[in-house]
Amino acid sequence: MGKYSLIKFISELLMGLGFIFTISPIILYCFIHGNYERYIWIINGPYPFSHFGSGPFQLFMYLSLLIVGAALIVISMMIKRVKKKSENKQEG
């Protein structure tokens, strides 16, 4: 029973991180573009912040965060499915 609780914890952790990564592009966009003075302060900073003024870099960052989030959610769902199949085999 102990290893299954660890698997459940890992699966739920990956699911939570996946949702955070999936939501983070929206939060990042609102943070960067919420105030013009903050936007100028960010793009005058060191790399990678200085590149947040360019559209392609922002698109790359947002898509990267979305892809990582989706991958974590899929991995979490796969772990849950494998766990459920192994439990069904042990019962039957």
Which H, E and C letters describe the chain, residue by residue? CHHHHHHHHHHHHHHHHHHHHHHHHHHHHHHHHCCHHHHHHHHCCCCCHHHHHCHHHHHHHHHHHHHHHHHHHHHHHHHHHHHHHHHHHHHC
pLDDT for position 60: 94
* Rounded-to-integer distance, Cα 12 and Cα 73, Å: 9
What are the structural domain ranges in the chain?
16-91
* Rounded-to-integer distance, Cα 77 and Cα 61, Å: 24
pLDDT for position 63: 97
pLDDT for position 23: 97
How do residues 24-71 score in pLDDT, each as one tens digit? 999 999 998 999 999 999 889 888 888 888 889 999 999 999 999 999
How do residues 71-80 score in pLDDT, each as one tens digit? 999 999 999 9
